[in-house]
Every structure is written in C-alpha cells, then in structure tokens.
Structure 1
Amino acid sequence: MGYDGDGEHNLPTMPAAEGPAAIKIKIKKPKNENSTHPVKTWIPHRQKYLDALLQLEGRGAWWVSGCARCGAEDPVWRCEDCFGGRLLCFNCVRIRHEDEPLHILQEWTENFLHPRTTRDLGLRFQVGHPGGKYCPFAHLSPPKNGFVVLHHNGIHVLDIDFCGCPDSPAEPYQLLNVGWYPATWKEPASAATISLLRRFHQLNLQARLPAYDFYHALVLQTNGSGLRKPPDRLPQFMHMVREYRHLQLCKRAGRGHDLSGIAGTAPGELAVPCRACPHPGINLPDDWDTAPPEVAWIYRLILSEDANFKMKGRERSSRENDPTLGPGWAYMVAHDKYLEHLAKYVDQDEISHCVSFAALWSANNKRAKGLRASGVGSVSCSRHEMFRARGTGDLQKGEKYSNMDFLFFSSLIGVFLLTIVASYDIACQWSRNFWTRAKAMPTEMQLPDWIEILFKVPKFHLPPHVKSCHGPYSFNYTKGVGRTDGEGVERNWSWLNSAARFISVMGPGSREDTIDDLCGFSNWRKTVDLGNSLLHRLVLAIPQAMMHSRAFHAFTEGLREEHGEELQEWERTIRAWEKDPLNAASNPFEYAELTAESMADVMKRISEEDHLRVSQNGAAAMQVKPAAFLLAGMEIEQMQSEIALEAKRRNRTTIQATDLQRRRTLLLGKISALQDIQDTYMPGLSAFLAKQPAPSTVDHSRPETIKIFLPSSLPADVREGICLPGLVKNEEDLRQAQATEALRDLRSGLRTRTFAHRFKRKHLEGQGMYTKSRSLLEAIEERIRARQGMLDLRGSGEWESTYRELQKEDVRGMNERLMNEQEKEDNRKARALAGLKDDGTQDTDEFGEPVDLTVLFNLETGEGHRVLSWIWYAETGNDEVGADGKLHADIRVEWAKARARADRWREEVVLLEEEMRRTLVFCGWKARWWQERANVEREVAPAVAEGMRAYALEQADREDRWESKWKAQWAAVRERAKVALGGDVGNVEEEVMLPLEVELEEDGREELEFDDFEEAY
C-alpha cells in the first residue's frame, strides 16, 4: 500500500553480496520532487510567509472587486473548504452550498471573520433523492437538535430531510447512499462520513492512533477555543468504527458475493492467507503428495508459536454487552469453544520456561490482577511471518499447554500436508506428550494420522537452553528448512505491541475485533511486499549458497586423499543423526568435552591436597596455599604479555593510551602483592638472588618488563631447595593444563577466523589473505610461555610429541596455508601497480609483528592437496588419537557444520524459488476466484449488483497485475537460481559468476494506495 509522505520502509538497504555470484542491487527511489533539496535550518522569506498567513485572517486582496460570483458589493461570506477563499454575498454562498452541507463557512462582521455553518444559512439538505431534487413526502430529522455528522473538518450539526416516498429505502440506507454511515439503525440522528471512517482506519492501523484521540482531534477542529462545544458523539463514533472494521473484513473476503451472505461465513474465512505457503488444491502440483523424499520437503509448512504478555486485556465490560462481531471468523479463535476446552484444565500449571528466559517470562507475567487476559498466544507462518487464521487467542493466566495446544491445532484446521515444522521457544518441553494431548482436542482439530510434526526452537532462543537441546531442536542442523530462523512470530509482536495501550482498555468483543483487524492489515502489508521481500532474500541467498557449497567442497577435497575413510564415517554418522536426532547416541555438531585436566581441574586437585595437609598438620598449614600463589604468578605473566603487545601498537588513540596506563598501574600492584608473599612459598629465593650479579634498575613505569620468579624460572639444581615441597610439581601440572587450554583456544580462534569471516577475499583474485588478530597473538604467546615452562620443569621427553614447539607457519586455519613464492611475487607486483613502495622489507602489523600472509586455499581451482598444521592433529585430551594420524575431533565438528551451512543455504534457494512459484500460481487462482464471483447472481437491486460486479472485477484485475509484475520482477533472479542449483556443488557454472543487477522498490507498499486495502482482497 502507498502512503503520502516518507514512511518506514520494510526493506533495509542491503549490503553488497559477498563472494562469487555477486548480485548488484539497485534501490528504486519513489519519485519526490523535493527529495534532492537539502532541508534548511531556516525559512527563506519567513516574514513574507507570515504576512501572507496573517492576510488570510482578513478578507484578502480581492474583496474590493465584489462578490466572486455576482459582483455584488461588500461580500462578507467565505468558505474554508472551497477553492480560493474568495468572498461571496449571502445569496451566492447559499446557492453554492446547497449540495455542500459539510463545508466550514466564515462571515466578516465586527472587523474579523466569525465561524459559521451551512445551518446558519437556513439550508436543509435532502437525502434519498439525487442532488437538487426535493421529495414531496419528505419527513424531517429531529428539528430541535439537528442531525450530527462527523467529517474530516469537524463535527457538524445540520438540518436534513429523509425521503418519504412509498418505495423509499429505510433511513439508514438513505444515509449510506450519500456516503454517511449511520450511528444506529433505528431513527438515526448521527452519522460519520465513510471517508472519515476510512481515514481513521488508515491512521489507526498504520500510526496506531486510538479512536479516542482521533475523535477529540475532531472536537478540537470544531471548538478550538472551547466556546462552541459540539454535541458528544464519542460512543457513537466508537460504535461506527467497530462496525466499519467488521464490514470491511467481510467485503474483502467476498462475503458480499456469496449466496449465503455474511451469515454463512466459515471459521477463519476472513483471514488473509499467506500465498507463499503451501495450499493443496491451490498452489501445489497435483502429485505433490507422492513426490520422492528428495523433493517432498519443499511442501512442508513451517509454523511459529509464541506467547506475548504485552497484549494484556483489562477487566472491562462483558461479553453480553460487548460481543465479538465475527467469532472465530478471522485470526482470533471462537471464544466459546476456546473456553469450553480450557475449562477442562483450570488447575493446569503454566509451562515452565528454560534457563535464561525464565526470568524474562516471569517479569512479563507479573501484575495479573484485574486482567481478563494476561496476554495472547499466536501462531504464524515462520518464513513469511503472517498470522494464521484461527491461530490467536487470549491467555487467561500465564502460558499453559491447554492454551497453546488449542491455538496450534486450531490454526491447522483444514491443513492436509505430510510434514509440519513447529517452532516454539520451549519446544523441547512442549513436544513431550504432545500426541497424548492432541487426542483431547475437539474433533474438528484432530490431525490426520499421516502428518509428521518436527519440533524446533527458534535460533535466538536456543543458546540459553541446556546443551542437550542444541542439536535436536536446531534449525541450523535440520534438513529441509533452509535458513528459517523460527523467530517470525516475535517480529509480529513488535507490530501488535505498538497498539497494546489502547487495546488493553477495550471490552472483550472490541478487543478481539480490533486484533483481527490489525492482524489482517499486517498480513495484507506483507502480501503487497512479497515482490520485494522474496526477491531480496533470493538475491542474498544465491551467492551465499554458492560460497558455502564451494567452501565445503574444497574443505572436503582437502581431507579426502589421506582421510577418505574418516569422511565416509562422518557422513554415515551425520545421516543417521539427521534421521532421528532425539534418539541419536551423539550429536556430530557438538565439540567433545575436554577430558584432559584443565587449569580449573588442577586447581581443584591442589585444593584437595591442601585440605588433606591441613587435616594432617593442623591450623599452621592453612597459611600455605601454593596453587593460589602459582596461579597469581601465571596471571601476572599473562598480563605482562598482553601489555607488552599493546605497548607495540602504532597510532594509539587517547582512549587506548589511557587504558594502557590503567592496566600498567593494576599490573604493578599485582606484582607488588606477589612479591610481598613470595618468601612464604619460595623461602630460599632472597638468598639465591643475593648471590646473583646486581640486576639493572627496575623500570616501574613499564611493569611488563619486571621479572617474575616462579619455580620454572630457576635453575633445575637449586629449584627444590628454594621452593616449598610440592610447589615445583604443582607448577608443572598447571603449565601442562595451561598449554592444553592455550592450544584449544588457538584452534578455536583460527576456526573463527576461517569460517566467521565468510571467506573474504582481499588483495589477490580468488584468495583471501589474513594477518594474526590480537586475540590470536595472545593465544600464541600463552601457548609458547606454557610450553617453555614445561620444558624448564620437565626437560625433553615424549610429551614434546604432543606439545610441539609452535612455529609461525603452524598458526593457520584448516582452510589456510602460507603464501608460496609465486603468490608473494604476484603480491609484490600488485603493490607496485597500486603505487605502494616495496623496499623488500617484511610488512608488519599494527603491533609491529612481522606479517606472514596466509591465504584461503584457492577455491576456484579446488586446491586441497595440502598438509594441515600439526595443531589440528595434536592429542590434548579429546577423543582423537593424534599418534595414528587421525583428524582432530574439532575438524569433524567443523566439517559437519560446514556441510550443514552449505545444505541450508542451498535449501534456502530452492525454497525461495518454490515460494515464488507458489505465489504466482496463487495470484492466478485468486483472479479466477474473483472472476467467478463477478458473475454471482444474488437477488439484489441492480445498482448493488453492479457494485458487486465492479468490486470483483477490480480485485481480479489486481491479482492479474500482481502476477505479471512479480513474474517480470523475479525472472532474472529465478533464472540465476536455476543455473546455480543445476551446477555441481563444487564446480558451479561460470555463468553464475557474472554480476546480475536487480531493481528493488524502496518501499513496496508505495505501489498500492491505502485505498486499495480498503477495497481489496
């Protein structure tokens, strides 16, 4: 839908696609002649503008010419709503407004303009007859108070006459014929113009303007000074608005074209369906239910369910006084059946929430006193975020199984698909005993036996769950869901919550009718924007699918030659897990637990030894805590390394310099504290140092250079004599644990660098070049320091086969290698062409460290015959065996994740192409549906029949235009998707690598005016 002015756009500005098959995106800006002019902070010629505004308060410049119509002298009447604002004489203004009852008039008297109305002219207005013709049998509206009409420019009191001819329609029909909506059926004395109701509908849906505020804006227009109080019609306005909402829902759903009329409306029939979702018999092929497994997954329905505790409902009115106009006809469930089901589970507890979200849920659910509804639950389609018909309902107290089950099953009435994916933030609990609870549902909600339901947790909500939930309930590892995140219903809440304030004070019926209308508008807005939204997603998905597929292919080829059997075993394990993730013995996507002794484990063991020593030697032993002392020393060493690295940073900012000084001060304090207690643990240290040559002056301004004396820094022959018994062994154990954890951190950092950067390419075509980050440098330093400590304490031995000396060429990711000489030469030539000086010296990074550029192995040529760094084979306590050459377990996990990423992105392209096809087919079906209704013959007046036919043909035409427009808009990208999907996973056709430019409208809603929403679907 289109709106005047600058609105909020559905589609953000999209970044350029990364990697191969980049698709250029050009945003089509709406035409706005003023959009290129900068906004000034001052108003040019503002004094002249102000003078012009003041002139309008008088008679203007033309009054001396006489009446603008007849030329009579001294005209004193002016109309605010007629063009030009010229003055007229009494006779002319009266004649001109015989058919304009809702204009605001002014009279020049006492040297200023006084407000007047058409009633002041003595005019009466005839309804029920064409303009200018009066009924000989006219009967008057209430003569004392007049007839009240609400219009854009205020609240009017008029004198009107109804037609009294023998065959005349009832008074409400006469009002409707002139575009006035009556406030009541019996003896109407008030009305609102339909154009006013339409405008409020726009503002209420788009700007969330409450009816109360809108009405009082009309009062302000009519009586800004408070001197001419208009009649109070707020209750009548509320009543008219509610009826208008309901009738618009019925009209858009074609109920006026059905022989059974509004009374024959079926449950959910007034809802706007998601045309991109599967609908058997409408947008699916005839043989969809017999498709093989490798194809059948594209016909899944993916739903999201959630509760929203912002949408509270206060205890106002009653259902007897405020019933729902269309119970269960749109999005809100029929209340009677809903309560009948809930009554069976009055004592049921709320669903317990997992981990981190429990506190948030508890906070949202507080202060339920005085509420009819503590919130709402709802079901929507996950991929397109459209509310499901009959899938929304009030929550009486908290989030119970009985509520959420009923809403879920209600949203599936009439669905006959083979598989449904159900996303819920507590699916891990909700899925338990699900089918047992399903048997208790009403008969019309029972699911066919063949339907399979897969339970998943939305991506954002999954991390706080316990570890055992992460694999089985993850969208990332589920086949056939593409890049669905399951969070669609959460984004719908942000839409509804903006209206929560005024909805909360409504009666039960008004509340449900308003929520129905808001959900309908949300669905309609997303329907109109399907052209952009699906195109946007496919534009981004194609290069991502190619990039991840090719990266996975190259990753696999790099391992296949020496580890082919392991790869086959990994593939078998993943396939078995995918078939039944809940019952699988292990999750192939989880890292193995660190079984080697970590620093925390060593600390625990040393503490237990301390406890035993205290129990044996009494209280005196409590002062000796060697583990804490050693840990403090090792922490100081780590801080010294980090500060020394930071001190090398070039072009340090003021903030960074301040932080460096703060850290140095903190480090100096820690060193001083350590030295104060060092004699307790190393009683012979002072005597040993006294015999050494005099050290150079200690530089307290650079505490990172101060030497820390731990057992490993002392000569082996005097070490035991200087330290307390067991201290050397304790440090040896801690150093080994430190080396183990540092190696694990180093691998983790390299994995992050390799995969999280999405294989960015810089400097060389087809290759990505990387330098070491600060975190990697720190991990390397810690690894080197720990190994050196072990070497000093243990000397050479078999342990060195696992904890090898770390060389700079060893620090590379699984998909990285050092540049060869030819590539270095190419890099030098590239620098020369770019005008960069090449003096033969080695480049350094911002910390002054030499840069040994590594590259991702060349994806274009499929290079994979390179040897992994030993850090990926090293045995550090995980379940791999490094000695026999088997791959590190972390590589298996990363390979499995890379496989899943490639599969999900490829599925996303397939799903989006299928959704585009379904959308176009749905448009064609809907056009034929409206064409059929254009020929429905109901027993109505000829004028009504003509309106019915015109409306149906208008809707059919819009569906045809949508189909043509979207088909052309998507054509190029759909063709690109087919080419990408048709190529081999690792060797996609080069045609797909060519740039493709597509055009997106900046705001899809601007293609359709809001009036189309009023008259559409």
Structure 2
Amino acid sequence: MINLDGRGPNTSERCPCCAPEGLDRYPEFECLDCWGRYLRCKECMVATHTAHPLHRIRRWNGEYFERSSLKSLGVRIQLGHLPGQPCANPQICFNDDFIIIDGRGIHSVGLDYCGCGTLSQTRFVQLLRYRLYPATTTNPKTAATFRCLESYELLSYESKVSSFEYYHALVRLTDNTGTHPPKNRYPKFLLMIRQWRYLKMLKRSARGHDPIKPATATNQGECALLCPACPQPGKNLPSDWKELPENKKFVFLLVYSWHHALFIGIDANFRLKRKNVSSDRVDPDLGKGFAYFVEESEYKEYLTRHQDEVEPKSTCSRHDAVNLSNSKPGQGHAATGVGTIECARHNMKRPMAVGDLQRGERYCNIDYLFWKSLINSVLERIYISYDIVCQWSINLQKRMAALDHTFVIFNGKVFIKFLVPKFHLPAHISKCRSSFSFNYTVGVGRTDGEAPERGWAEINPLAMSTKEMGPGSRRDILDAHFGDYNWRKIIGMGSTLIRKFTVATSDMVAHVLAHRGLELSLPRDTVTEWTAAVVAWEMDPSKPNPFEVQVDLPTQAAVWRELAEAEALDLATGKDFTLDANVSPSVFISSGLDLEAEQRAVKTETNKMWLHSQDRQKTKLQLRYNALSRKIVAWSRFQQLYIPTTVILRREDTEADLRRKAPLPTYAYPLWLPSHIKTKVSFDLRLAEIEYKLRVAQARESLESLRRNLQMRSYLRKFKNRFSRGQGANTRARNALDGVNERIMNNANEYRAAFDAIVSLTTLLGKVGWEQEFKVLADGDIREVSEADDGQSEGKRLVSWVWKTVQYSEMGNDDTFRDTLRIEWCKLRARAMRFVEEVELLSVEMMRVLQFFQWQAGWWRSIGSTWNHATVKSDMRREGLIGYAKRQAAMRDSLSAHFVWLWSMVPRIMAKVQGDIAEGQADIMAKAQAETTPLRNIVEDAGSLSGNML
C-alpha cells in the first residue's frame, strides 16, 4: 500500500503508450479505476478515456500524487455520437459545468449535447440514452448514472442505508479532506432516486411503457408483486377449482377446500411513525395506490367519516391496541404507525393493504385495509389472523355494511375463520385460547399467523429516516421496500418451501404415531364418541368444546366447604373429634397453612432488606415479625389440643436454639403440621387427611395463578418491546414486570411448599396417582407457553409441564380421569392433523408456484406480441419492448426450472415418510397386543412418544 503512493516500477521518463511511435512525452497521469498500474502522458490519458469520462485520475507532480480530473485534461462527453465521432453541431452545456453522480464519486465534467442529424433529441432524452438519469427534464445540469442509482437501490434494500448517508459517502470518496468539496446536489439526488424507484416499479409491471394503456390508467394495486404460492384464480388455480367430485362434497369444508384457502395476517407497526411535516399537497406520492399503500385521498375521506367513533373496551385481556385507540395521537406526529394485511403463510405484503394509523389500531383503519385487500377476492375459504381478532371480529359485519354491502364477508358461500397468532395467544383469556387457536383449527396446517411480525423486523430499520419525510416520499419509499421484500420472498420460495416440507414430513411421522398409539390403548366406542364430538365442534364452534375441561377440579374454598359438611355429618352421627368449640380440626389445619403462607411473605420482605435500608422499613418489618410471632403462639395452644405429642418436638426446637445460641427467625420457626411431623411422633391421621385435601387444592390454585401471571408477563414483555419508548416509559414498564415476577416467584414457592407436603402425606396415607398431576417445579419449568425447549412451540407439545392440561385425579375420580384423557387425545389428534395438513398444503403450494410462473411467463409473451407495427411505430422502441417482455418471460422460466430441480427430492421424501409411518404403526400394534400394563401407563407412554421420537 505504501508503494502505491509512489510511482513504483513506472519511473520511465517516456510514456509507454506513445514511446513506440517515437514520441517523447513524460508519463505523469495514473487512472485509479483502470485495471493495472500504468502512468501515461496527458495525450494518451485523454485518448484512452474518451469512453470512460468518469474515471478518477491523479497526477505525479515530481514529489507525490495530487488529485486531477479528466475534465481538466480536456476530456468531454459528446452525447448522440459514438466515442471518437465528432458532432457537426455540439451544444456546450451551461458553460461547461455539468455534475454527474456516480458510484465512485461526484464528478464535474465537460458535456456537449448533439444538435445535428436525426439523432438530435431533447437534452434529457440524450442523457437517458447514455444511461444518465437527469435531475430535471428542463435544461438539466445534474445527472446520476444508472449504475449509481441501481447500486444505491439495492444497498438501501439490503442494509437500509439512507440516501443522506450514501450521498455523503460519495462526497467523501470525491474529497475526503473537505478542502475541495463538490457542489451540493443532495436535493437533486433525492428526487432522482425517488423517480427511479417509481419508474422501475412501472417498468417491472409493464405499466410504464404500455403504448395502449398509459401509466395514469394503472389500477390500484396493479404494480404490487403477487404471492405465487397463494391461490390466485386465473393464474395458478385450475379452471374448475370450484367444482368438486361427488365423493368429495360431503367433506368439502373440512378436507378439500382448504387446499384453495387464503391465509391473511393483520397487524400494525407503531415504529413506522411520521412527524407532522409537509403535506400531501406539497409532497404527493407518485403512485396513487398503485402498489401496497392504499390511495390516500379515498382513505382520508373514509377516516373523516369515522373520526368520532369510539372503540368498545376489550372483553378479553387488556389489549392496549384496542384500549388505547381512543387516546390522543402521538405528540407532533401525523401518523403513529402503519397497519397492514399480509399473506400469513408466505409473509408477503398484499396489494392495497397498507395504510397509516392516526391513533392506535382503530377498527375503522383496519376495516378499510381489510376491505381493500379482499375487495376483488372470489375465494371461498379465508383464514384471518389478527392478535386482537377476538374483539375486532365481534361487530365486523355491522361495521362493514356501511362500507360495502356486497363485500365477501356477506357472501353466504364463503367460509371465514378468525384466529389469533400463536405467539400472541397466551395473552388471551382461556376461552380465546381454544376458540381462536391455530392448533385446533382444521385446514391451517402448521401456520402460526406471525408472518407480519417477521416482516416488521425487516422494515423497522427504516423508521429513523422515514419518520422525518413528507407523506408522499414516505409512502413511495415504503412501497419500494415492500416490493423488494416481496421479490426476495418469491425468488427464495424454492428453498423455503422445500425446507418447510422436509421439517414437516419428519415431524409428521412422530405425531401421527403418537396419536395412533393412544387410540390403540382406548376402547373403540370411546374413540368413536370423542371423534364425533370433536368433528361436531370443528364444523360448529357453538357446540361443546372438547379441548376444554368439563369436570371442574375442587378449589381450596370447595375443599373447606366439603370439610365443613363432613364435620356436620360427624356431629350428627357422634363421630366428631373436635376438641375446641371455636376451632374445629379443619379450621386448625387451614389456619396453619395461612401461617405458613405468612412466613413465606415475611421471608420475602426480609430478603429485600439490605445494609442501608431506612429505619422506617426496618420498623415496619419488625412489627410484622411481632404480629406473626403472636399468631404462632396463639395457634400453638390449639396444636397442643389436637397433636399433644408436638410438645416433644417443641422441646427439641428449644434445645437446638440453645445450642445455636440464637433462636430461629420467625419465618423459619417450624409449625409442625402433619406433613412436617411425618413419623417423628404419633398423631391422629384424620388430621393428615384434612391437610392432604387442602394441600392438593392449594397446589392446583397456585399452579393456576402461576399460569395467569406467566401470561401477564408474556403480554407485558410484548407491550414493552412494542410500545415503550424513552426512559420514563421503559422504567414504568420495568416496574410492572418486576411486580409480576415477584408474584410468579410467590406462586412457585407456594406450589413447592404444597408439593413437599403432598409427598410427605402420601407416604403416611398411602395415596397413589398424584404424580400424574403434580411434579417437581424446577426453575426451568417456570416459563411462558411459547418458551418451549429447543425453540419448539405448543404445536409440537414440548412445553413446560406447567401448561399441560392433563391432570389425573389422585382421588380416583373416573369422570375427571376420562375428561383429562379426552383432552389429551384431542390434542394428539389435532397435532397429527396439523402436520398432515401442512405436508398437503406445501405440496399444493409448490404446484401453485410452478403454475404461477408458467402463467406469468405466458402473460409477458402475450403482451410482447401485442406491441407490433400498428401499435408502436418506432422500430427501436418496439425492439426494446419485445426484448424486455421476452427477458421477463425467460426469467420466470428459469425460476420455474430451478425450483423443479430443488423440489426433485419430494417423491423420495414422501416414500420414506409413508414407510416410516407403516413401520411405526406395525410396532405399535404389536406392542398393544402384547401389553399387559395398566391403561394409565400405556397412555403416559403414548403421550411421551412424540417427544422421544423428535
């Protein structure tokens, strides 16, 4: 690198280019962009760079290289002629002052327009023919090379670099010292790149150059890139796709039609804000709804009619997207975000499906986008995924009636199913978690509905630059980025679909065999009954939901009532063993459990104290210690009545305190409940039976509370990440999360205490079967339902046992056992069906992609054939039109051939899957015939089969 700052081996005093001709010229100029390293004389440098006027050169001044330019050597750009061909009537441009922006810098060049012959055209046309894009059509003095605009366009799509950063990088490439800065052409560059993107969008959709239908006649959404895997009637569906064979009509809605179903996802992004700067009059968008953004004037007119609407409060969990939609818009912002309708399976923006939001996710905004996105749909099955769909869908038909009474949702032939994305589902109430679940819905495969969230991760880096833009510029920029995102999805669909297919087929084997194994362990009539019930619910959700618990498990309050009724019966039959008129045995045990809970709370408060805690905090804690000590002393008096032998244990505690020379803290003082005593001393086992019942109810309630708080934490985390901006908002969100985390740890500690007591009491009482419901709660088990091991979701069932609803009754309640067994069977069946559906959907989508490319290639060839001598008079223009159309058709043919090659392994994969399933079912049948273990052991083995095989 140091050698390159000198002349190196080029120290000859004669120019190597012209020396053979006998000329004696001093080589002092070097080109930084030509290949190799040669010093040339002035005349040779000019001669070799007539066709390369934008190369950067430098001059050796005898001591070091200094910056120079081809313009200073006399190199001029002559438009309208080949290099070296003189022009009879050159027209010098603005006193020899023309700026060209190139990917290697910003150049001041000498430029001459042609004013002679038939090639003479307007100045901006002459520039365009040399791949120079002018900043204006009226006397341009600035242009950018096509190569520069293409480079920046792709760079911005890939890295989200702003035009400001790119332009000033070119400034530094031109002069990195700041002593000779080029003339500022940044505003001109902004205009050029914006026009460039718009023209490329028109060109790629055959709308900018159609000699019959002008660009102004472009239909809304016509320039958007369509998803080739989604059903597109007339493009990738057979002509008779609506017709069904007679033997398929009975199962049309459940088995057949979901092959041609449309999956859409709805979501909003509140990072894509726009400040209240400029206006649509000053900064209009170039594409009036031609691509992804809806047409602005119609959209605003609609919003004006609904500006006073107030959204009803959520009847589900606290969804701030709904509850905050009635608040004032963000300070100083004209748009607080954008809403979008997307393809939920392939993560592509749909035409006319993006619009600005003004206040949260107001229903009127989403309604309009939903309507525009599906206004031309003729499909007969639509799945709609939205994180607040349980609220948004309630009065959807009523709201849409005023907008379009012929809309698709009013067509009685169209089946519409509303669903909540899988990651968002845990934040909903329990009823929503089954009614709106992808896991339990027929025909959705392994769709998760979270496609919009993945798309936002790609577009969010633009937020810092687009929020400062005017309305039209921002819409044009986002439209361009959405289009590029769709294109990358299209060209990557070959590898994406085969990867999904490979994973789905391997997982399908495990889940199909798990379901089959459980079915073989059940009576045939039971399977028939449950199948009828789940199919009835799938066809009519108003029927009883087989995925929900129908036998209620007893709570602590119910157990207390049961114990009180048992004591009343004992009093009536003379079997009562109450020793105090005010404190019965059940009251005595339940009071002990309350004291234990208070000990845990005091311990938690003690752990919060530190060396520099205030006196007020220490006093408050000490008073709580004193109150707890008095309660324990009072309770111990009744303990001596019911368990007199605890006197021995208390004496041992006192002796231990003397040996330690310090008493135990109050929160660690042993209460000596039956579960603590075990077999240390004798006592009435009826007390242990009472505690056992209360402990079981305590464990269930603490688990239920734990699940609720885990759901709340999941929601708060999402809300914080999505909406909280700034130190104040993040601090408040962090405090709320800390409070929930504390409740979660309290629930965990309560469950662990109950679990330890149950383990101790079952040894005394000989209880069995409780292990199926209660397990050791490790720290790793305390996680949200979506935090599965190894990144696997609820759909694959490998989640924390806390969320598994299989709860076998330790009391031998046959109804409870049957209820929970039915739920497990339903979930195993649903998982197996979803994987089978996923494999089928992926197979159909592959065929649709190939058919779409075939249709699109034919479409390009057909429009190319319409551009004949009658419609296009210019031979040069006609050749360009036909050449571009044929190149586009060839590109689709190439993509199709490439995808066919990628998917050539599909038949081999399917053959292997069928063999694995057949082999697995044979093994299960053999094991079922030879198995002699109890039913519950078989069920447990079948339920864990999925995890073992995966």
Q: Same fold by TM-score, threshold 0.5 exceeded?
A: yes
* Consecutive unaligned residues in structure 2, runs of 5 or more: 568-581, 602-624, 707-748, 775-805, 924-950
| Residue number in structure 1 paired with 2:100 | 149
Change (3 A) 1:673 1:536: farther
Whether 2:864 is the aligned partner of 1:907: answer: no
Whether 2:851 is the aligned partner of 1:898: answer: no
Among 132, 136, 139, the alignment partner of 1:187 is 139
| Residue number in structure 1 paired with 2:363 | 401
Which amino acid in structure 2 is aligned with residue 904 of structure 1?
R
Bigger mean CA deviation after superposition, 475-484 or 252-261: 252-261
| Residue number in structure 1 paired with 2:259 | 298
SS at match of 1:287: coil
Change (3 A) 1:967 1:671: farther
SS at match of 1:925: helix
Change (3 A) 1:76 1:556: same
Among 487, 491, 496, the alignment partner of 2:450 is 487
Deviations 1:104-134 (A, max 9, x none): 1211226222211112112322111122112
- Distance in 2 (CA, whole Å) between partners of 1:233 and 1:717 is 93
Which aligned pairs between 1:451-850 and structure 2 lie closer than 5 A? 451-560=414-523, 564-581=524-541, 583-584=542-543, 586-592=544-550, 594-598=552-556, 602=560, 626=588, 630-631=592-593, 679-683=636-640, 709-710=672-673, 713=677, 732-739=689-696, 782-787=757-762, 791=765, 805-806=767-768
Which amino acid in structure 2 is aligned with residue 396 of structure 1?
Q
Deviations 1:701-756 (A, max 9, x none): 9x999986336759999969xxxxxxx9887544212245669999999xxxxxxx
Whether 2:864 is the aligned partner of 1:934: answer: yes
- Percent identical across equivalent pairs? 33
Which aligned pairs between 1:88-99 and structure 2 lie closer than 5 A? 88-99=40-51
Which amino acid in structure 2 is aligned with residue 925 of structure 1?
W
- Distance in 1 (CA, whole Å) between partners of 2:478 and 2:808 is 59
- Distance in 2 (CA, whole Å) between partners of 1:729 and 1:364 is 58
Deviations 1:816-839 (A, max 9, x none): xxxxxxxxxxxxxxxxxxxxxxxx
- Report the alpha carbon displacement of residue 688 of structure 1 after superposing the two structures with TM: 5.3
The structure with the greater share of residues assigned to helix is 2
Bigger mean CA deviation after superposition, 709-718 or 551-560: 709-718
- Distance in 1 (CA, whole Å) between partners of 2:527 and 2:372 is 45
- Distance in 1 (CA, whole Å) between partners of 2:751 and 2:111 is 84
- Distance in 1 (CA, whole Å) between partners of 2:46 and 2:401 is 73
Which amino acid in structure 1 is aligned with residue 242 of structure 2?
D
CA contact (8 A) 2:502 2:909 kept: no
CA contact (8 A) 1:74 1:89 kept: yes
Whether 2:17 is the aligned partner of 1:69: answer: yes
| Residue number in structure 2 paired with 1:278 | 231
CA contact (8 A) 1:742 1:782 kept: no
Change (3 A) 1:444 1:575: closer
| Residue number in structure 2 paired with 1:440 | 402
- Report the alpha carbon displacement of residue 533 of structure 1 after superposing the two structures with TM: 0.7
Whether 2:152 is the aligned partner of 1:200: answer: yes
SS at match of 2:444: coil
- Distance in 1 (CA, whole Å) between partners of 2:290 and 2:771 is 64
- Report the alpha carbon displacement of residue 594 of structure 1 after superposing the two structures with TM: 3.8
| Residue number in structure 2 paired with 1:332 | 293
CA contact (8 A) 1:200 1:214 kept: yes
| Residue number in structure 2 paired with 1:917 | 847
CA contact (8 A) 2:276 2:334 kept: yes
Change (3 A) 1:200 1:154: same
- Report the alpha carbon displacement of residue 436 of structure 1 after superposing the two structures with TM: 1.8
SS at match of 1:135: coil
CA contact (8 A) 1:923 1:963 kept: yes
Bigger mean CA deviation after superposition, 406-415 or 935-944: 935-944
- Report the alpha carbon displacement of residue 245 of structure 1 after superposing the two structures with TM: 0.2
- Report the alpha carbon displacement of residue 207 of structure 1 after superposing the two structures with TM: 0.4
Which amino acid in structure 1 is aligned with residue 134 of structure 2?
P
| Residue number in structure 2 paired with 1:41 | none
Which amino acid in structure 2 is aligned with residue 288 of structure 1?
W
Which amino acid in structure 1 is aligned with residue 767 of structure 2?
E
Query: How many residues are paired up?
Result: 783
- Distance in 2 (CA, whole Å) between partners of 1:225 and 1:958 is 45
- Distance in 2 (CA, whole Å) between partners of 1:148 and 1:872 is 77
Whether 2:241 is the aligned partner of 1:288: answer: yes
- Report the alpha carbon displacement of residue 957 of structure 1 after superposing the two structures with TM: 1.6
| Residue number in structure 1 paired with 2:343 | 381
| Residue number in structure 2 paired with 1:315 | 276
Which amino acid in structure 2 is aligned with residue 976 of structure 1?
I
- Report the alpha carbon displacement of residue 541 of structure 1 after superposing the two structures with TM: 0.7
| Residue number in structure 1 paired with 2:927 | none
Deviations 1:85-113 (A, max 9, x none): 32111211122222221111211226222
- Distance in 2 (CA, whole Å) between partners of 1:780 and 1:683 is 26
- Distance in 2 (CA, whole Å) between partners of 1:425 and 1:395 is 17
Whether 2:61 is the aligned partner of 1:109: answer: yes
Which aligned pairs between 1:17-28 and structure 2 lie closer than 5 A? none
Change (3 A) 1:748 1:221: closer
CA contact (8 A) 1:319 1:509 kept: yes
- Report the alpha carbon displacement of residue 550 of structure 1 after superposing the two structures with TM: 1.5
- Report the alpha carbon displacement of residue 783 of structure 1 after superposing the two structures with TM: 3.3
SS at match of 1:346: coil
- Report the alpha carbon displacement of residue 437 of structure 1 after superposing the two structures with TM: 1.9
SS at match of 1:422: strand
Deviations 1:144-193 (A, max 9, x none): 6x011001121111121101125312111100111100000011111000
Change (3 A) 1:365 1:186: farther
- Report the alpha carbon displacement of residue 775 of structure 1 after superposing the two structures with TM: 14
- Report the alpha carbon displacement of residue 685 of structure 1 after superposing the two structures with TM: 9.4
| Residue number in structure 1 paired with 2:218 | 265
Change (3 A) 1:780 1:913: same
CA contact (8 A) 2:310 2:326 kept: no
- Report the alpha carbon displacement of residue 416 of structure 1 after superposing the two structures with TM: 0.6
- Distance in 2 (CA, whole Å) between partners of 1:74 and 1:500 is 55
- Distance in 2 (CA, whole Å) between partners of 1:989 and 1:325 is 65
- Report the alpha carbon displacement of residue 898 of structure 1 after superposing the two structures with TM: 0.8
SS at match of 1:463: helix
- Report the alpha carbon displacement of residue 946 of structure 1 after superposing the two structures with TM: 2.1
CA contact (8 A) 1:257 1:936 kept: no
CA contact (8 A) 1:538 1:909 kept: yes
- Distance in 1 (CA, whole Å) between partners of 2:60 and 2:650 is 109
CA contact (8 A) 1:365 1:374 kept: no
Change (3 A) 1:452 1:874: closer
RMSD: 4.2
CA contact (8 A) 2:311 2:363 kept: yes
| Residue number in structure 1 paired with 2:377 | 415
| Residue number in structure 1 paired with 2:354 | 392
Please give the TM-score of this superposition, normalised by the length of structure 1.
0.70
* Consecutive unaligned residues in structure 1, runs of 5 or more: 1-52, 610-619, 640-667, 721-727, 750-773, 792-803, 815-870, 991-1017
CA contact (8 A) 2:133 2:145 kept: yes
Whether 2:177 is the aligned partner of 1:230: answer: no
Which fold has the larger relative contact order, with Cα–Cα distance below 8 Å and residues 6 or more apart in sequence? 1
- Report the alpha carbon displacement of residue 316 of structure 1 after superposing the two structures with TM: 2.1
